[in-house]
Amino acid sequence: MMTRRDMLQRTSLGFGSVALTSMLHGENPLAARRSHFRPRAKRVIFLFMKGGPAHMDTFEYKPLLQRDHGKPLPFAKPKVTFAATGNLLASPWKFKKYGQCGHQVSELFPNVARHVDDICFLHGVHGTNPAHGGALLKLHTGADNFVRPSMGAWVSYGLGTENANLPAFVTICPTLAHGGVNNWGSAFLPAHYAGTPIGNASIKAKDAKVHHIKNPKWTPGQQRAQLDFLKQLNHDHLGGVPNPILESRINSFELAFRMQTAMPEIQDIRGETGATRKLYGLDNAVTEDFGRQCLMARRFAERGVRFVQVSHSDSKVQWDQHGNLRKGHTEKASEVDKPISGLLHDLKARGLLDDTLVVWSGEFGRTPTVQGSGMDGRDHNPWGFTMWMAGGGVKGGFSFGATDDYGFYAERDKMHIHDVHATILHLLGIDHEQLTYRYSGRDFRLTDVFGNVAKEILT
């Protein structure tokens, strides 16, 4: 009999064939792998707010900004900005202290606010690119001028999936603009590490599906008969000579057949109770769509998918209020506040929050200075903004870092996007410097040559 080691030696495709070989042995090529050290989180749910929510209007209260409304910014703006802005614009929303930690949250997020004691706020995050496309790519792949594997692809490369019938990385209703597929692609990593998109941002969550997951013509019984016939053809073709490449192809049809059942089962939320649906806001037209995305995220997480991304992005650039800030941010927040709160509550109730890391972020924040003559807009701000995490090994009721008095630049305990990536990997038990992939003669990593783990936020 051929041993696993023999098989490895007999394949000629290098790394990819390790996956093939596992498949041949009836395993998933994405079989769960050991982390570098004890993980604090086993999986990630990334709630992406496309367009850039303003931190000073949501989670980082800035008293001096309120006081100095209408005055000029007392220090220089960056040399290169996306658009021109004027004087300081106070937040139109009131802030209130919540929880034991007393963190201040604006009236835009009354429901999420109830969870502040489970949330770790990162107020000193900063990126590099002030345009949507570049910032999205930076956030999702660590690079804005080259095509690089996405964060989720690195995680599935590093850890695999815990469920043999599912991909390790799914992205629910992602946007195709501003980097599109590259934001969940595998670039030079083997293709099975790429995110599996479920619908896209132009499709309602209830209609979102994985490509080609449903057969348009045959009944399951007919398709089974057809695949059995195909198996006979393939076995004849093998002619009794073991061949890992051909045999893994045979097995891939079996995995595909199982996926056909597994995927729709997860998306079918009919079995959820009325209370759960209400928790996520499925009973309300405003929150229904994002609520369904969040509920699906929980169902994927529950079944062992490593990295689930949820995008708040329909056919517009959701949070991008260069003007109409009051109306826009109110609308956007009302769509996500309840569902996110529901997700946190549900994860906690099910004991999943302990080893699930929830990350909330836009591609950047917004300027404290006003854009436009209507005194009702803010420009992109990658120089300082807020991201938050909850669960999976981060301190709850904790704030780390801050922007300056007005919210323009990250100032204290700064975390660059690379640091955020290093920290997320760390929480998953991965050393970001060790998770490398050799491509075109060079070892690549998610954090390039950068990245420091924010040890202060770990439990």
Partner 1 sequence: MKMTARMLVFLLVATALSAADKIDLAKGQKHWAFQPVKKPALPTVKNKAWVKTPIDQFILARLEKAGLQPAPAAAPRDLQRRIHYALRGLPPVPNSKIVDLKSEIKIQMATPQYGERWARHWLDVVRYADSNGLDENAAHANAWRYRDYVVTSFNADKPFDQFVIEQIAGDLLPTKGEAARREQRIATGFLSLGPKVLAEPDKMKMEMDIIDEQIDTLGKALLGLTLGCARCHDHKFDPIPTADYYALAGIFKSTKTMDSLKTIAKWHEHSFATPAHKKLKEKHEALIATQKKVVNAFTAKANQQLLVELKLEKLPTNPEGKYSKTNQVELAKLNSTLKRLEADVYVLPSAMGVEDGNATNLPIFVRGNHERPGEIQPRHFPRALSDGKPISDKVSGRLELAQWIANRNNPLTARVMVNRVWRWHFGRGLVTTPDNFGKLGVKPSHPELLDWLAAWFVENGWSVKKLNALILNSATFQMSSMPNAAALEIDPTNVLMSRAPLRRMEAEPLRDSLLQISGQLDLKVGGTIWTFENYKLVFNHTSEDATTYNSNRRAIYLPVIRNHVYDLFELFDFPDPGTVNGNRADTTIAPQSLYLMNSPLVHRTCATMAKQLLAEKKLNNTERVEWLYVKVYNRKPTANESKRAVAFVNEFCQERQASWQALCQALVSSNEFLYLK
Report yes or no: 313 and 320 within 8 Å, Cβ to Cβ: no
CA atoms within 13 A on the CB side of 206: 8
Write out the binding residues for partner 1, residues 206-235 only, by CB under 8 A.
211-218, 222-223, 225-227, 229-230, 232-234
Give the pair of three-digit tokens for residue 312. 């708040």
Q: What's the closest the beta carbon of residue 197 comes to partner 1, in angstroms?
A: 10
The secondary structure of 20-86 as a DSSP string is HHHHHTT--TTB----SS--S-SEEEEEEETT---GGGTT---HHHHHTTTSPPSSPPPSS-SS---
Strand, helix or coil at 312? strand
What's the min distance (Å) between Cβ of 147 and partner 1?
A: 4
- 442 near partner 1, judged by CB under 8 A: yes
Of 1, 3, 38, 80, which lies in the binding site for partner 1, with binding defined by CB under 8 A?
80
> Site for partner 1 (CB under 8 A): which residue of 16, 63, 72, 264?
16
| Residue list 342-401, contact with partner 1 (CB under 8 A) | none
CA distances from 258 to 14, 25, 201, 251, 262 (A): 27, 16, 27, 11, 6
CA-CA distance, 442 to 183, in Å (whole number)?
22
Name the one range near partner 1 by CB under 8 A: 92-100, 185-193, 292-300, 329-337.
Answer: 185-193
Should residue 9 be labelled a site residue for partner 1 when binding is judged by CB under 8 A? yes
Smallest distance, partner 1 to C-beta of residue 184, A: 11
* Residue 187 binds partner 1 (CB under 8 A): yes
Tokens of 439: 């491509």
**Contacting partner 1 (CB under 8 A), which of 73, 172, 201, 343?**
201
Helix, strand, or coil here: 219?
coil
Told to check if 69 binds partner 1 by CB under 8 A, we report no
Query: With respect to partner 1, which residue has the nearer C-beta, 38 or 211?
Result: 211
Could you say whether residue 204 binds partner 1 (CB under 8 A)? no
Nearer to partner 1, 250 or 427 (CB): 250
Kindly state the smallest distance separating residue 252's Cβ from partner 1, in Å.
5
Render the burial of 251-286: b for 16+ CB within 10 Å, e for the rest.
beeebebebbebbeebbebeebeeebbebbbbeeee
Write down the least CB distance from residue 219 to partner 1, Å: 9
Q: Which is nearer to partner 1, 245 or 349 (CB)?
A: 245
Do the bridges between strand 356-362 and strand 385-391 make them parallel or antiparallel, or are there none, so unpaired? antiparallel
Instruction: Examine residue 299 and tell whether it contacts partner 1 (CB under 8 A).
Output: no
- # of chain residues touching partner 1 (CB under 8 A): 86
Distance of CA 406 to the CA centre of its chain: 28
Is residue 5 a contact point for partner 1 (CB under 8 A)?
Answer: no
Q: Which is nearer to partner 1, 19 or 370 (CB)?
A: 19
Residues 308-327 within binding reach of partner 1 (CB under 8 A): 313, 315-317
**Strand-strand pairing, 437-439 and 307-312:** unpaired
Look at residue 7 and give its three-state secondary structure. Answer: helix
Q: Does 262 bind partner 1 (CB under 8 A)?
A: no
- Using the minimum distance from each CB to partner 1, give the nearer residue, 314 or 355: 314
Residue 129 within binding range of partner 1, rule CB under 8 A:
yes
Q: Is 188 in the site for partner 1 (CB under 8 A)?
A: yes
CA nearest 122: which of 441, 454, 347? Answer: 454
Q: How do strand 442-444 and strand 437-439 relate by DSSP bridges?
A: antiparallel
> Given the rule CB under 8 A, which of 107-115, 341-349, 352-360, 436-444 is the region that contacts partner 1?
436-444
Among 196, 287, 356, 403, binds partner 1 (CB under 8 A): 196
Q: Could you say whether residue 144 binds partner 1 (CB under 8 A)?
A: yes
- Supply the minimum distance, in Å, between the C-beta of residue 257 and partner 1: 8
Of 184-192, 299-307, 323-331, 411-419, which segment contacts partner 1 by CB under 8 A? 184-192
- Asked if 100 touches partner 1 (CB under 8 A), the answer is no
- Interacting positions 152-181 with partner 1 (CB under 8 A): 174-181
Taking phi over 0 as left and psi of -120 to 50 as alpha, with beta for the rest, 102 belongs to left
* Residue closer to partner 1, measured from CB, 246 or 269: 246
**Interface of this chain with partner 1, residues 27 to 46, rule: CB under 8 A:** 29
Q: Do 147 and 182 form a contact (C-beta atoms < 8 A)?
A: yes
Whether the Cβ atoms of residue 98 and residue 376 lie closer than 8 Å to each other: no
Q: Measured from the CB of residue 73, what is the shortest distance to partner 1 in angstroms?
A: 18
CA dist., res. 65 & res. 68, Å (int): 5
